[in-house]
Amino acid sequence: MKIVRISAFCLAFAAILVFGSGMALAFYQSPQVPLFGIQLRGIDVIPVAAPDPTPAPVTGVTHYTININQFQDQLVPASTGLGPTTLWGYQPAIPLLPTVSTQRHLGSIIVGQKGKPIQLTVKNNLPAASPVPIDITIPGANQDQNRAAVHFHGGHVPWISDGGPFDWYTPSGSHGLSFLNNVLNPSAPAGSGEYYYPLDQSARFGWYHDHAWGITRTNAYTGIASALLIRDNFEKALTFLGLPNYIEAGGNEIPLVFQDKIFVGPNIASADPSWTGLSAPGSLWYAHTYEVNQPDGTGRWDLAPQPLNPSLPDPSVIPEFFGDTMLVNGTAYPQATVQARRYRLRMLNACNARFLNLQLYIADGTPNGITLDAAGNPTNAKFLNAASGITLASNSITLNAAGATSVTLPVIKPAPPSAKWLVLGTEGGFLSHITQVPSGQPMVIQPNAIDPTTGQTDPRLLTTSLLMGPAERTDALVDFSSVAPGTEVILYNDAPSPFPAGDDRNDYFPGWNCGDGLFGVGNPVNCTTAAGFGPNTRVLMKFKVAAATGTKDKTLFLTPGLNLMLGNDLLPQPAVASGVVPAALPRRFLTLNEAFDEYGRLIQIIGDAQAPGGSPYVVTASFSGPPAVLNVPATQETVVNNTTEVWEIYNTTGDVHPMHFHLSTVQII
């Protein structure tokens, strides 16, 4: 699965709310949370799922039982005075490690093998009310708040196991129109769903999350998500070429899941009087007021001039949400001890809307670990993290199609270290060729990158490090042996939000770009945040490097340019070389558009050649003052199974829209 990312300028402005002592702040803000006050969680804390002792009904494959529960977890240091956070999430009925059985955020990780199908029974045990406010005015959301639909993001699965929006079910057993997956387990109890995953894809970092109609964003935000790793023989063979061994085998592989949240503090009643979610300090806060752009520059989103229904609801859906506190593997600003050796980082951007421009810097001893210059760029030394210290004299490693067990090693020669990520793969598995990406390049918007009339952005004029949009994954190697033990390394992000032009009030770093007064430029929150604390969306976590012990790392033959095509599901090169569209393939024309709903709120819709302006997602949707171009049936594309097509998708809006496809692999050409 690929995410189609088309960059454009976002015409959003931050809203100003009266907060606390009268300070003007955007949204509600989390209380201050210390950086590096908690250890990074791994599978020694986050439960991994183990199979049931008996095979799955009907199919007879390996079977898992997983619960969806409400639970509490301490995501920030207790020294903050914030209590545990009430979450919704997955919990395996049988944890792989009996000592790791307490339910934790992002729990129920599954590790599967290519060619060995699995089946899941997922029991919905959720209470009636969500921990955050639900807007019942959008399609589907006026039904039960505790509906669930399990979607294997990027999975090639039968449609009855896709977990699409209409595949939802409740604890009582009521369900959506597409809920047919109980045919895989006719005796399944009410309130459960059954999912069959063939695992017929190449090795990759997959994940599964909730996708219930009308409440996907809030269910995912409250925690219903976990990882599903697929292994295969090709990947295993790479461990003989220097790839760190798997995390479940005790190897130096570290999954990193990034999320941005906002936490409720003790002042919630006075700071946000209309808040109807959980109010205990430490609870999750989610934006629920549609803040309209004003002539004086305040507000966040446009409103239709003459909405059909002029009474904006509260709680209300919003176009996008950006938190102020960064979580990695479920805790805020953690630190991790690593040895001075090679590591494989498996990264997932699980934010609702925030892009990440990931960089690595040597900590400079300040409370933040990072010092910014006048332009907002780190003054820290770049982390020289070439993962190998060698380069190939030729780009040929021969791996057999049966599983890469025979290897022809090329001649190697030394190479100096450089400030690069060594990227092996993305959400679709291994890349066609290993590539290097800068690890110390701040986000730069080059001159003329943004069209002043249309707001469209030329992505070729954006300079970044490792850029990840929401739901994207990256598989990269980092070698900490290039620094002395005792060194600390900061994982840093400066991607603007909304991407790429940004709104200063979504950029949090103590003391940076504070602004001046109620309508000043910048983010006033930064004026009051102490150094070494959040809100902070730039510092993600810290690695503390210790001396290497035990067996020395294998020589690394995985170097830039190495062909990995035998290990992925991509179409062969050069048929889809960059910029070359195969002429014989049928094409489709689609558009991304913005309109206004009946309340005048921004709504994103998809169009095609028959209706380029877009059409409703469901026939029950209504629009504010609907133009004639919208008075058409919902966009629907009919395709033929086992065929390949070229889809040309044009973003006509002033915003960024990641595109996600179900049931089929998509390759960007």
> Which pLDDT value is given to residue 669?
78
Rounded mean pLDDT, 119-129? 98
Report the b/e string of 611-621 with b at 16+ CB within 10 A.
bebbbbbeeeb
Place of tokens 């990840």: 468
Q: Greater confidence, 481 or 630?
A: 481
Write the pLDDT tens digit of every residue in 92-111.
999 999 999 999 999 999 99
Cα atoms found within 13 Å of the Cα of residue 174, Cβ hemisphere only: 6
Distances (CA, A) of 309 to 135, 137, 295, 621, 653: 15, 11, 22, 13, 24
Average pLDDT, the chain: 87
Q: How far apart are CA 213 and CA 147, in angstroms?
A: 8
Strands 225-231 and 342-349: unpaired
Least confident window among 31-45, 136-150, 644-658: 644-658
The band of 61, judged by pLDDT with boundaries at 50, 70 and 90, is: very high
Contacts of 27 (CB under 8 A, 6+ apart): 14, 15, 17, 262, 287, 324, 505
DSSP class of 548: -
- pLDDT of 293 > 90? The answer is no
The band of 538, judged by pLDDT with boundaries at 50, 70 and 90, is: very high
Q: For the chain, report the end-to-end CA distance as a whole number of angstroms.
A: 13
> Which pLDDT value is given to residue 307?
86
Rg value, the chain, Cα = 24
The band of 409, judged by pLDDT with boundaries at 50, 70 and 90, is: low
- pLDDT of 389 > 60? The answer is no
Strands 533-534 and 488-493: unpaired
Q: How far apart are CA 570 and CA 425, in angstroms?
A: 12
Least confident window among 118-127, 421-430, 615-624: 615-624
Write the pLDDT tens digit of every residue in 157-196.
999 999 999 999 999 999 999 999 779 999 888 999 999 9
Enumerate the β-bridge partners of residue 319.
none
pTM for the predicted model, two decimal places: 0.92
Write the pLDDT tens digit of every residue in 496-513.
999 988 889 999 999 999
**Rounded to the nearest 5 degrees, what angle is found at the Cα of 279, between the Cα atoms of 76 and 293?**
95
Q: How far apart are CA 97 and CA 47, in angstroms?
A: 7
**Residues 326, 40 contacting (CB under 8 angstroms):** no
Q: How far apart are CA 2 and CA 280, in angstroms?
A: 39
- pLDDT of 4 > 70? The answer is no
Q: How far apart are CA 193 and CA 185, in angstroms?
A: 9
Q: How far apart are CA 540 and CA 537, in angstroms?
A: 7
- pLDDT of 304 > 70? The answer is yes
Rounded mean pLDDT, 285-298? 89
Query: Which amino acid would we find at residue 408?
Result: T
DSSP class of 468: E
> Which pLDDT value is given to residue 414?
52
